[in-house]
Amino acid sequence: MVPSLLFEVMLIGLLGIGSQWLAWRYRMPAIVVMSITGLLAGPILGILNPEEDFGSLYSPIISVAVAIILFEGSLNLSFKELRDLGKPVFRISTIGAFIAWILGSLTAHYIAGLSWAVAFVIGGLFIVTGPTVIMPLLRQSKLNPRPAKILKWEGIIVDPIGALLAVFAFEIISFMTADDPDGTKLLLFFAASLFAIIFGWACGRGMGWMFETGHIPEFLKSPAVVIVVILCFTGADEIMHETGLLSVTAMGITLANMGISSISDMRHFKENISILLISTIFIMLTASLQLETLLQIFSPNIIGYVILMMFIVRPLSIFLSTIGTGLSFNEKALVGWIAPRGIVALTVSGYFSGVLQEAGYDDAGILTTLTFGLVFFTVLAHGFSIGWLAKKLHLSMEGKPGTLIVGANRFTVELGKSLQKAGLPVIIVDSSWERLRKVRESGLNFYHGNMLSEQTEYNLDTIPYEYLLAATDDRAYNSLICTTFMPEYGRTNVFKISPFVEGKSTNSEIVSKVGGRILFDKKFSMDDLTDKMANHYIFRQTTLTAQYNYKQYVEDKDPSTVFLYLIKPSGQLKFYSEEMRTVPVVGDTIVSLTPPNKEKAKIQAKLETNRNNNQNGNQN
């Protein structure tokens, strides 16, 4: 056991974030790593038992964390994303959820051996997937936009619906089994659900109005939203248990569709908070399980239930509900397979386990074991299979690292052509149709629009591109692009052409301090690169060998050479910058912009050789 509660809080955070890092480092599903870490620290090694140690604070901490996570996810649900997807998302969230509820309840009764009452409660709860498990999978799997958006919308919308279905089933059961049935409770349930939606909408509109009118200063916006989210959740949940999840979802969707400029800044803050909460909550939940619960998971009735839920109930509900929606068979197959359960299922089932047992349903004692069995096996199976299955179904954007270049000019066109020649995805974005003329003629992918506009956000698919290069002739715009997209691409993957121009130090001193790493070298501004292109500089590709190492390569180069990027034998792409710490080794291919002198000499030598051969031939 840990020496103090403070030490336990520290250890939970360390294990959670450490699991996230380990998953990122070795490209494993984060939720799988977190689950295994929690089990090792909790029931297996007995180091942690958060539920026992935190006491009465345990449930409120979990509930508030789930509310914030669900709100963060719903903050990404803009209705503009639903172009061509509104029908399948609506069908899956309604008809599909209903089918999954009925089939899941039948499976729980006949396979898991639960009574009808308990089966219908747990059947409603198990339709949920949720952002706590879906978002980490989508981050790592790089699905095509259509299935990715469907899974995201379903996970966030169905999360509160599942909890409400469980409450609704319990209220129906209580009504039907009561000696003196009273419909007041059912009416109260529907009234409380309606109130939760209206309350969430009001909180969202109220916060949006205060942001737009300047009633909240910038430094208080994110903290204020967190507190209002907790208020929104608690206010609804105190009236009817589990309606708080519905309320925060309504609040998030309302804010997401108000078109408030500062929402994007808050979204990045919420994403960071959400990752921290998911990491710690998963550790807390899995570490709080009992060893007996783990052993019970492997009983035949639970394994049979989990297998049917994964291979029959979920695929059938998706295929039936999406008939006539325009989804391809492959898309239905992928969406029908991916349905990992997470935090909401674990927390709500724990609540109903106690409530149902108090109501006289003794078989409800197995709910925690049943829930964790479904959570663990779905997290494991879907976490490891999503990438492989997406590739097999041709629904994956996984591949060689792509590059998005902002700014169409002679240099970026040639840079794009060199990347394309190396087999790397590339796209050039510019708001000028005239500047894009050379890009169109070259056959490169392009997008006509302003990189910072809202339309671009919804119309340009950025999933295939890991790197962003800001290479316009406007130094301030380049820095603004980098600052805007740094949270999305990561600090090490966003670059800008050097803002330093000889004789123009005033703006450069300011602009250089704003976002993005300097691309290639500080001394090569956009003007310098344009001049080199005008002077017929050439893109040269060189592969290092044991006989020709990096030191020799650098020594042979002209001082005016621009080292652009290198490609590892594994396909990894590295752009040169002043902060690049990678030292090229044997097998690496380096692309540089070199003066034409050597090329001219080679051409001249070849012409001389041909001339001599011709002369010798004539003499013979």
Among 164-173, 263-272, 588-597, top mean pLDDT goes to: 588-597
3-state secondary structure of 500: coil
Residue-averaged pLDDT of the chain: 79
What does the radius of gyration of the chain's CA atoms come to, in whole angstroms? 29
What would the DSSP string read from start to end of 121-157? HHHHHTT---HHHHHHHHHHH-B-HHHHHHHHHHHHH
Q: What is the Cα–Cα distance from 140 to 225, expressed in whole angstroms?
A: 28
3-state secondary structure string, 107-122? HHHHCCCCCHHHHHHH
User: 């345990």: which residue's tokens?
Assistant: 58
Domain extent for 553:
402-605
Strand-pair category, 538-543 with 517-519: unpaired
* 73 and 120 co-located in one domain: yes
Whether 129 and 228 map to the same domain: the answer is yes
Residue 113 and residue 245 share a domain = yes
- The H-or-E segment that residue 574 falls in is strand 573-575
Residue that terminates a domain, selected from 392, 416, 443? 392
Nearest to 242 by CA among 165, 142, 309: 165
How many domains are contained in the chain? 2
199 in a structural domain: yes
* pLDDT value of residue 508: 47
Residue 1 or residue 73, greater confidence:
73
Mean pLDDT score, 398-424: 83
Q: What is the rounded (10 degree) CA torsion for 237, 243, 245, 248?
A: -80
Are residue 94 and residue 74 in the same domain, yes or no?
A: yes
Domain of 19, CATH number, reads 1.20.1530.20
Residue 450 has pLDDT above 80, yes or no: yes
For position 567, what pLDDT does the model report? 85
Task: Looking at the structure, tell me whether residues 428 and 576 fall in a common domain.
Answer: yes
Rounded distance between C-alpha atoms, residue 255 and residue 582, angstroms: 43
What CATH number should be reported for the domain holding residue 535?
3.40.50.720
For residue 139, the model assigns a pLDDT of 63
Residue 620 counted as domain residue: no
The more confident residue out of 477 and 171 is 477
Same domain? For 531 and 590 the reply is yes
**CA 341 to CA 158: how far, in whole Å?**
12
Look at the chain and count its residues.
620
First vs last C-alpha separation in the chain: 95
pLDDT computed for residue 511 by the predictor: 47
> What is residue 603's predicted lDDT score, i.e. its pLDDT?
47
Q: How far apart are CA 538 and CA 546, in angstroms?
A: 25
DSSP structure class, residue 195: H
pLDDT score recorded for residue 616:
58
For residue range 83-122, what is the model confidence (pLDDT) as tens digits?
Answer: 666 788 888 888 988 999 999 999 988 998 888 888 888 8
Evaluate whether 125 touches 375 at the Cβ level (below 8 Å). no
Query: What's the pLDDT at 618?
Result: 56
> Residue 70 in contact with residue 85, Cβ under 8 Å?
no
- Collapsing DSSP to helix, strand or coil, 34 comes out as helix
Strand 465-470 relative to strand 494-497, pairing: parallel
pLDDT at 137 over 50: yes
Please report whether residue 615 resides in a domain: no
pLDDT digits (tens, 9 = 90+) for 486-541: 767 777 788 888 876 665 554 444 444 456 778 887 788 888 888 888 888 888 88
Q: Nearest-CA neighbor of 283 among 67, 53, 56, 76?
A: 53
Domain boundary among 392, 420, 445: 392
Kindly give, in sequence order, each residue whose CB lies less than 8 Å from that of residue 440, ignoring residues fewer than 6 positions away.
446
**Phi and psi, residue 549, nearest 5°:** -85, 180
Cβ count within 10 A of residue 226: 17
Q: Do 495 and 383 reside in the same domain of the chain? A: no
Q: 365 with 406, same domain? A: no
User: Are 265 and 138 part of one and the same domain?
Assistant: yes
Residue 503 lies in a domain: yes
pLDDT digits (tens, 9 = 90+) for 379-409: 888 878 888 888 888 887 666 678 898 888 8
Q: What is the pLDDT of residues 281-294, one digit of tens each?
A: 878 888 887 787 77
pLDDT of residue 432: 85
> Is residue 493 located within the same domain as residue 580?
yes
Which is nearest to 418 in space by CA: 594, 578, 549, 556?
594
- pLDDT-based confidence at residue 269 (cuts at 50, 70, 90): low
Quick check: is 67 in a domain? yes
Higher pLDDT, 266 or 596: 596
Select from 374, 392, 410 the last residue of a domain: 392
Same domain for 170 and 203?
Answer: yes
* C-alpha span between 328 and 310 (Å, rounded): 20
Q: For 211-233, how does the pLDDT look when each residue is reduced to its tens digit (9 = 90+)? A: 888 888 877 887 888 899 899 98
Residues 446 and 559 in one domain: yes
Kindly indicate the confidence band of residue 267, based on its pLDDT and cuts at 50, 70 and 90: low
Is 613 domain-assigned?
no
